[in-house]
Amino acid sequence: MSILIIGQGIAGTLLASALRQQGAQVHIADGNLTGSSSVAAAGIINPVTGKRFVKSWRFDEFFPVAKETYQQLEQELGIQIWEERPTLRLLGTPEEANDWSIRCAQPEYNNHLGETDDPGAWGQYLKPGFRFGVILKSARANLPLLLSSYREVARQTGSFFEKNFDYQETEALLKDYDQIVFCEGWRATANPYFPEAQFRVSKGEALIIKFTGQITATPPSDMLKKTMLLVPMGDSTFWVGSTYRWHFEDTLPGEEGRDYILGYLKEMFEVPFEIVRHVSGIRPTMIDRRPIVGPSTLNPNVLIFNGLGTKGSLLAPFFAKQLAKELCKA
Ligand SMILES: Cc1cc2nc3c(=O)[nH]c(=O)nc-3n(C[C@H](O)[C@H](O)[C@H](O)COP(=O)(O)OP(=O)(O)OC[C@H]3O[C@@H](n4cnc5c(N)ncnc54)[C@H](O)[C@@H]3O)c2cc1C
């Protein structure tokens, strides 16, 4: 079985890895195109999302697969990409604090959420007046490090090509490969093999910041979430994001996104900070918010693995494994 994967974001990377485990021969092509989502992402996996703190779709099924997959890749590549850490949840209003307490009391949530009065190391940075909750089971997969390490190994073994794929080459390449799988992220909106796929992509931006004020205690190692998420990245820097824009003219970081994030940071913190970097990417979200995985109706040997939306770190491991098993069954 020989398979060509177009796109080496988290979808293409994990599919390549799962296919190789099934014994398939895999080549990957990626054109390093702007707007790639995986390299802008913090890679966070959270059991609850949204204003009502609702549990993520099939979280208890997907989380163990994600953990196992990233830990296996850590071994294989000799890198550290998986970290489990609690997240301090800021609750801005009495209503929010009340909703949180209700969730904590529900049996389905009490393994994942807890209550606390202590902001820990974040206390020295925050403005007064917040209440707190804690997300016990959150994790981070370092996607940029995974992608660059995986690419380096694939390049060395001659199975990675830096190439912007042209759809007109598809039929000719199917003489060399049994199947072609498109893992192109948001650029699949222009893919002629999947005209029925209903994307609703969104641009997201994030800042990498460094606090510059007088901090005496050790910097926090837990993540912090209110409307924005802050993720410790080492070296006293923090990833802060992200924004959501459904109408955008380009894929690049912009002033509007930066100012939006800064507005939130100034509401939350009294300690000054500086911007180290500003990143952006386009999330490949579907209208129904579910991944799209499977063959084209125009050619059964052309497939798609996409639609990971805001949750690529959690969803990609499970669906990559399922698709790899399906493809190698034949
Ligand atoms: C700011 C931001 C923060 C985020 N934070 C999180 C988070 O904390 N946790 C989480 O789970 N998710 C997060 N996400 C979402 C996450 O990034 C996506 O779910 C996931 O990365 C999508 O991966 P993908 O592989 O489908 O697409 P992408 O990462 O976009 O990869 C697609 C790849 O295909 C290549 N490509 C496209 N077309 C072609 C072509 N014709 N020829 C060759 N190559 C091509 C591109 O160069 C690119 O490398 C975030 C997204 C953004 C923007």
Strand-pair category, 82-91 with 113-116: unpaired
Domain residue ranges of the chain, discontinuous segments joined by +: 2-43+142-198+288-329, 202-283
Residue 42 Cβ < 6 Å to ligand 1: yes
2-43+142-198+288-329: CATH topology: FAD/NAD(P)-binding domain (3.50.50)
- Which of the listed residues 44, 87, 184, 191 should we mutate to test ligand 1's pocket, taking the one with most ligand atoms within 8 A of CB? 184
pLDDT (0 to 100) of residue 144: 96
- Which of the listed residues 290, 310, 318 should we mutate to test ligand 1's pocket, taking the one with most ligand atoms within 8 A of CB? 310
| Cα gap 239→225, rounded to integer Å | 12
Q: At what angle do helices 143-156 and 59-77 cross, to 10 degrees?
A: 50
| Cα gap 95→101, rounded to integer Å | 10
Residue 202 Cβ < 6 Å to ligand 1: no
DSSP reduced 3-state for 185: helix
Nearest-atom number in ligand 1 for the CA of 311 is 11
- 39 CA to middle of ligand 1, Å? 7
Nearest to 150 by CA among 47, 265, 240, 16: 16
Residue 240 Cβ < 6 Å to ligand 1: no
Q: What is the CATH number of domain 202-283?
A: 3.30.9.10
Q: Is the fold of 2-43+142-198+288-329 the same as that of 202-283? A: no
DSSP reduced 3-state for 189: helix
CA atoms within 13 A on the CB side of 67: 13
| Cα gap 222→232, rounded to integer Å | 7
pTM: 0.96
| Cα gap 287→201, rounded to integer Å | 9
DSSP reduced 3-state for 270: coil
- CA torsion through residues 236, 137, 320, 190, sign: negative
pLDDT (0 to 100) of residue 216: 66
Mean pLDDT of successive 10-residue stretches along the chain, which has 330 residues: 97 98 97 97 93 91 98 98 95 90 91 91 90 93 97 97 96 97 98 97 97 77 94 91 95 97 92 94 97 98 98 98 93
Cβ atoms of residues 206 and 242 within 8 Å: yes
pLDDT (0 to 100) of residue 320: 98
Residue 181 Cβ < 6 Å to ligand 1: no
Residues in the chain: 330
Look up residue 123 and give its DSSP letter: G
